[in-house]
Chain A
């Protein structure tokens, strides 16, 4: 059967079994992953996956079932099983789930791609990665060099009992390098353009070509070796400038996650936790300095969270989350938006056919300062502080208040100039105090989208690829050098 017939079969089975609402996602995925270390290929893997997931509401109670077996009896059985699961869940139900309104839509969407990354020959991919490693290995004292490419293509055929039919294909590409220096019981690494296996964006092979893996290889390797001899960052309070990579993770952990409305409602309490934010804080909670404005945006070019429609069929949109430092909105689903009397802002995403859609960050972006400085100008404006570069470690409490991060490198800023390199930099803080200390944000010329391809949530666990648009920013009186 064709995918559209399969989704129709699943919906039919679910509605005949008693579902009041049902949606079916046929998902077809292709993946490719390559890791080159020094002069050999360590990993070369190609993946294909197809399956169907069915979500139903029966008397206001959810059920979900999914299968990779795409014969007609198995697909129909999945529709019925979802209803069985929903019925079993009713025994503890208090208030029935309601969904916010949504106009059914028939549409197609696909990521703009200049060059299909799956059509690029393996020899061309390997040549790029081997050359990127060779550039790193030109630095004496390096332990080893790595270069990576990751490709994802996900086609989702979404079919709902309300009449939506959406055929959406998302293509994403990642490429990066990692230089590792080892010596005297120490290990230091530098990555480019980002940790998490590099720059990950929506798009095709042009993403990898634009990552400048070869051009940056020597510098990255040199910095890794230099870090071995660098001093540890002292424990003190100081001014810090976070580069884009680190600021993206700061935003992810301390803004994106706490504003997920399902977390606020306690729906993730059993695993990832809840939030210090409550619904009543909207309009009043001072989240950060007046320089802080954050937007939820499913449309920004190149974002890992850029799509036409979420996995409930809600169209992409841009909605404010924080305006001039004050909480203004949340990440919602049709279920959670209905509780606060609003329409969903389209953040429901599932990690493939086997997963139930959950509220996930799409692209959560910190606005640049319209007339903000360049990074060089911001450094020149800083009398005494640190530039922290490239995320290395992250941790935050289960309400998203106390956090601790580590970066790969930190450079002293003294009288507006970059100085000494420090290794193993760490900093900690509490969310609203930290964002309240932000006193400068770079301008639009420094703003770019950073991919975070490994966000985890849910039981069973799911991974989402998300992005954060940021420009570097400065924060005052931050505790660094955590011991």
Chain B
């Protein structure tokens, strides 16, 4: 279910936001767009398969707990 939701979201984003941008925009925007989309797609697909990805909050929590 989660995987379907993620794939539909990315499909809609590509159709309605990315393709119109591709026609007119500079390389910086497109590179950032593709890079971020791929990274987040990997994370979300892993999440859909219930694979636990380490939270960035954990190290923050550990640092604060060690100090205080």
Q: Do A and B come from one complex?
A: no
Tell me the B residues contacting A by CB distance below 8 Å: none
